[in-house]
A and B are shown apart, each in its own frame.
Chain A
Amino acid sequence: MRPLDWAVLAVSLAGIVLYGLWRGRGSDTTQKYLLAGKTMPWYAMALSIMATQASAITFISTTGQSYVDGMRFVQFYFGLPLAMIIIAAYVAPRFHASGVYTAYEYLERRFDARTRALVSVIFLIQRGLAVGVALSAPALVLTVIMGWPAEVTTLLMGLTVIGYTVSGGIAAVTWTDFVQMLVMTLGLVAALATALWLSPVDLGGALQVAGAAGRLNPAVWTFDLNDRYNVWSGVIGGMFLALAYFGCDQSQVQRYLTGKSIAQAKLSLLFNAVAKIPMQFFILFIGAMVFVFFTFTKPPVVFDPGVQAKAEQAAGYEAVEREFNVAWTARKAAAEALPGTEAEFKAAQKAMDVARAKAATLAGHEGFNDTNYIFLSFVTKYMPVGVVGLIMAAIFAAAMSTISAEINSLATVSVIDVYRRHMKKEADDGHYLRASRWATGFWGLYAVVTAQYATNLGSLIEAVNMLGSLFYGGLLGVFGLAFFFPRVTGRGAFYGVLLGEAAIFATRFGTEITFLWFNVIGCVVVIVSGVVISSIGRRIGRPVG
């Protein structure tokens, strides 16, 4: 990074933090701190929802995923619009009308205290695990760029976010999300424009090369339960995951609970229903264009600089590098001669992949995954001055928006569902406000500590989604019972969740079924067992709930 890049990054981040502090002033009651006094307009909530979901992982990992696997990951979002319609029509109005702080508070009103407690704990575990992953992604960026230790990066990043989140609560989080989303959009446009500008072929030629490599596949209709990304798993599995994430996860529910009306909350959700797929398509398309760029400019054998350095030290690396270079030259020649040379192009691509795997094996990283390093490698080595700073700012903005929302929601659940409900029931509002600030600080520090362990999880975005899928099915099932099965009792809901989670873990560790289906399986098991247990309870005439 050159001085102009540093200036762009510093001004962007300082501006975001100062704006957050300014917007968060006056959060002097628990309701203002945790729900922004229910004053948010739809566009602020809409961009906040989008920014919360689009983490640094989205930039770093999704582009790399498109580079190695094509654009089929976009299908993961096909179920999102359907989920948003259901949430806007049935979920958001009920949460709003009931005046709750958290989604889990609603469960006690519908079922009982232990169901609320169980689901709150599931959320705290699941979101608590994910927050470290979200924070580790930008640490990865700085480790690659400047060689800073990841510990220092996560600490600096975490403390910045903790600063404005503790100070201004959700108002600060939402409005910084709003600005962060704008910075991210600018960064994305700059990345795509630069990737296209640097490629020696025009857009038509770029599409031809990416297509020949099988990278332009945003719709795959083959049905396969073991395949993560196709239209079917996207629409069905993606809908269940989006229902769970946007309808039951406090980090998202809290965004639209801040709305000044139900209509404003609904609009914020429907905006995401329309905007999310094009945004993901855009990000994946950037990855495909980076692939095109590296078709004509020789890439490193392995993008992960650590693995590459180790491989270079190993005996036999020269032969592997020669193999790689021959394959890359053949692929370039085939690309220049397209159309009609698709078979040669694919054969050369396969030879490159084999050489890359050999290099990683030499470095002692068999079965390696350098997805997270591809986009960063491109940005830092080839992007013009100023644009690098803007993209770094976008990556940081993405990370900060996700982390702030997560620690804010973790603090809210800790205070409202655990502390106020079970530990200190009668205290004044100032006490809970102070408790909320302390809890926010605690979860921020917790995120910094757990981030140290999150950098070795392979493709980070998949790790986060995988973690979510272990718990989301249970959450979704219990909210499904709450909203659509009026005769189900607290006992049915409680044991239904436990059985649903057992089914998900059995599927995860006992079958090859891909994680997108865990939500479907967990949700169905919770609902069926919840209904059956409630029905049995009524038949044997015992008091239930």
Chain B
Amino acid sequence: MSEEQERPPVFGSWRRLYWAVGLYLVAVIVLFSIFTRVFNR
């Protein structure tokens, strides 16, 4: 297996890992929006 094809330790492939990070960002923004709405006056 070449260096480029070496698999990440989680999610099985780089493509899926990138998607996971992207979804994580969406989740963070949603959580921060909820946090702002609940606590900020």
Contacts and interface: CB of A to CB of B under 8 A. Distances in A.
Interface of A: 70, 74-75, 78, 81-82, 84-85, 88-89, 93, 96-97, 207-208, 210-212, 214-221, 231, 235, 261-263, 266-267, 270, 273-274, 277-278, 281, 342
Given A216-B39, A342-B41, A277 B28 contact: yes
Interface string B2-33: 01101111000010011001101100110011
Given A219-B33, A221-B33, A81 B41 contact: no
Contacts of B33: 219, 221, 231
A217 B33 CA distance: 8
7 nearest CB pairs, A to B: A219-B32, A263-B6, A211-B39, A218-B32, A219-B33, A216-B39, A81-B25
Contacts of A261: 3, 6
B24 A220 contact: no
A217 B40 contact: yes
Contact of A81 (B4, B22, B36): B22
8 contacts: A82-B25, A96-B3, A97-B4, A210-B39, A214-B40, A218-B32, A219-B32, A263-B3
B29 A78 contact: yes
A239 B41 CA distance: 29
Contacts of A84: 21
B40 A263 contact: no
B8 A207 contact: no
Majority secondary structure, A binding face: helix
A85 B39 contact: no
Contacts of A231: 29, 33
A82 B6 contact: no
A70 B17 CA distance: 32
Given A81-B22, A97-B4, A263-B3, 12 more contacts: A70-B40, A78-B29, A81-B21, A214-B40, A215-B40, A218-B32, A219-B32, A219-B35, A220-B36, A231-B33, A266-B14, A270-B17
A513 B18 CA distance: 32
A413 to B, nearest CB: 26
A165 B17 CA distance: 35
A459 to B, nearest CB: 22
A85 B18 contact: yes
Contacts of B17: 270
Given A84-B21, A270-B21, A217 B36 contact: yes
Contacts of A273: 21, 24-25
